[in-house]
Amino acid sequence: VTEPDLAGRHVVVSAGGTREPLDPVRFLGNRSSGKQGYALARTAAARGARVTLVSANAGLPDPAGVDVVRVGTAVQLREAVLKAAADADAVVMAAAVADFRPAAYAAGKIKKKDGQEPDPIVLVRNPDILAEISADRTRPGQVIVGFAAETDDVLANGRTKLARKGCDLLVVNEVGERKTFGAEENEAVVLGADGSETPVPHGPKEALADTVWDLVVRRLD
Ligand code: PMT
């Protein structure tokens, strides 16, 4: 039996991967399936929360009893998260957000020109949504959780990222072409701004999600 320990709370979860368009046909994207974020949304709803799920290109069925807001790019994800976060008790950023987007969007399909090298793709920085919502908390006691997707020096990079982003908790998970992305299972260490470290063994993404909510509930109370 699940305890309704998030009853009366509004939580916001982002999920999936942003796509940054180059032209009407192509985009820069990443391998996130949305499964970890959707597991967070489902488990929060099961624990009684009102849940807003900001979903970037996930292609998964809407979880029952969850408000789903669909977005494509990092800029759209920022807008939707900021709007939903205004009255949220907790925000969990599980989405894989592109750090950069193409500087220019071509209104027509980019063509290859015979005998010519392709033009380089010039990138500009996207806003850092996690850092922004951590710096500008919209209500006292709001708990902000980030994820860190790392391929090497996982924990050391996680600690640095936690300090840089200014969130309360950072879920550090290792990723690779066939690791974590799209999988049913995950394993992680949840780092706390208070110096705590909570290891979560390999298991269903729901189990990691429930551990995240346990740690959030402790900070909300
Ligand atoms: O979707 P799945 O297939 O289930 O895979 C799950 C996952 C690997 C995508 C997920 O567990 C995960 O790690 N999500 C975060 C991916 C990511 O973008 O990590 P990052 O280390 O690049 O970013 C750190 C944090 O800052 C994240 O919370 C991210 O949402 C946030 N961010 C990043 C860039 C940016 N411009 N704005 C942000 O808010």
Whether residue 221 has pLDDT greater than 90: no
Share of the chain above pLDDT 70, in %: 100
- Tell me if 10 CB under 6 Å of ligand 1: no
pLDDT tens track for 97-126:
999 999 999 999 999 989 999 999 999 999
Summarize the annotated binding site for CTP as residue ranges: 99, 109, 127-130, 147, 161, 165
pTM over 0.90: yes
Measure the CA–CA gap between 129 and 32, rounded to whole angstroms: 17
Q: Is the ipTM of this complex over 0.90?
A: yes
H or E, element range at 68: strand 67-71
Whether residue 185 has pLDDT greater than 90 = yes
Residue 126 among the catalytic residues: no
Coil vs helix vs strand at 87? coil
Average pLDDT in the chain: 97
149 lines ligand 1 (CB under 6 A): yes
Q: Which of 30, 57, 126, 186 is catalytic?
A: 30
- Locate the ligand 1 atom nearest the alpha carbon of residue 34 and give its number: 1
Q: For the CA atoms of the chain, what is the radius of gyration?
A: 18
- Tell me the CA–centroid distance for residue 35 and ligand 1, in Å: 12
User: Which amino acid, residue 206?
Assistant: E
Confidence of residue 2 (pLDDT cuts 50, 70, 90): confident
Ligand 1: does its nearest atom lie under 6 Å from the Cβ of 134?
Answer: no
The answer, yes or no, to whether residue 43 has pLDDT greater than 90, is yes
Distance 98 CA to ligand 1 centre (A): 9
Residue 81 in contact with ligand 1 by CB distance below 6 A: no
Three-class DSSP category at 159 = helix
The pLDDT value recorded for residue 209 is 98
pLDDT at 145 over 80: yes
Q: Has residue 139 got a pLDDT over 90?
A: no
Name the residue with the closest Cα to ligand 1, atom 33. Answer: 97
